[in-house]
Structure formats: structure tokens, C-alpha cells
Amino acid sequence: MILQTNSQLPLAAKVPISITSKLRHDPDLIIDIKRFMPVVVSSADKNNILIHNSFSLANLKQDADEKLHVLVDFIRTSQTASIHGLYVGCTHAVAEQIAYLAYWKDYLLEFRIARCNSRIVVMAHFPRQPQFECVLAVFHDRKDLHYGVQKWFECLYQLVWDHAKIWQIHLIVDRPIYRKLEEPHFIKSGILVEVVDEE
């Protein structure tokens, strides 16, 4: 069973990229992690690396804070790489790396699924380190919930569960979105999903 709380948190108050009503995903590109390296790949062929950085998340000489900074910079830069002017989203592996690096620095981390204008935005929010905030996915807010929002909810729910014994990640969802979500089939007891009302 999912535990819920009611709150009045402003979810989309600080969205780190400009989310406009016309902003859509570029279906041809996605930000991923390959061999511990952040990359932009073709959605049709995820082995086709189009943009990469020489930075490696496996570099033991770099502090987790430095790695997180470089990763978030890569995400933000890559999100504007579409030649069509569309938004480039991230894979779930990117969210996993953000959680892993935040854990090593014991940073307070919130994954949020919120409405912003006519979009649903999935983001990593750092209340005490706003320089690391980033958008992971953007979906059109339509009557029927986009399949991708459900998949992100399941991914983030699993991440919360995976870290629950050693560290707490907050999962916060707007109430109108939460009402449309299905409980994950792998439901775990005692996982808190903070369900917030719109302001």
C-alpha cells in the first residue's frame, strides 16, 4: 500500500528549463548512460551515440559532487540539442545515477511529477542544492495519462524502495496526476508518496 500525505508544496515553482505550452519531446533523441558516460543517443538505435562527453561516472578520482555537477550540466546542455527546437528527455538510467551520486553526498533529493502549464514534468529537485535541479522528462498533460508518466512513476517508486533502508528519497506527485496513476504491480509496504494539492 502506498502511504500518502497532503501538502501545499509549490511543485513546479522552480523548473530549471523553460517549459512552454508548445514544448514537446524530440522523439528521435534521448539522454542516456553508456559505459558510465552520459550520452545522447538515437531513440531508434540506442547504440548510436550522437553526443558524448569524455567525463566518466566511474572516475574514482572525482568527488560525487563534481560528478553530479558535470552530469547535470551535460543534461541541461543536451536538452537543447534537438535541431527541431524540441526538448530532449532522459532515460531512467540517468535518474538512477542522480540518486546514486546524491546518496554519496547525503544531499536531500526529491523526485517530482508535477503539472506545469499544459505539461507534466518529471524532475530531480534538490531543496538545498538548487544548482543540481534538472528536468528528466516532459509530457503533454492530456485527459488520458501518457504511458511514459506511468513508467516514470514506477521507476522513481522503485528507486525510493531500493534506497529505503539506507537513505530517504522523497517522491512527490501532484494530486490530479496521482489520481490517474496505477499502483505499481511490485507495490512495497511503507513507501511514502507525497501527494500534493495545486496552489
Give the residues across from 37 on adjacent strands: 34
Cα 144 vs. chain centroid, distance in angstroms?
A: 21
For 76-115, the pLDDT digits (tens) are 988 888 887 778 899 999 999 999 999 999 999 999 999 8
Cα separation, 78 vs 65, in Å, equals 20
- On average, the pLDDT of the chain sits at 83
**Pick from 109, 88, 111, 90: which is nearest to 33 by CA?**
90
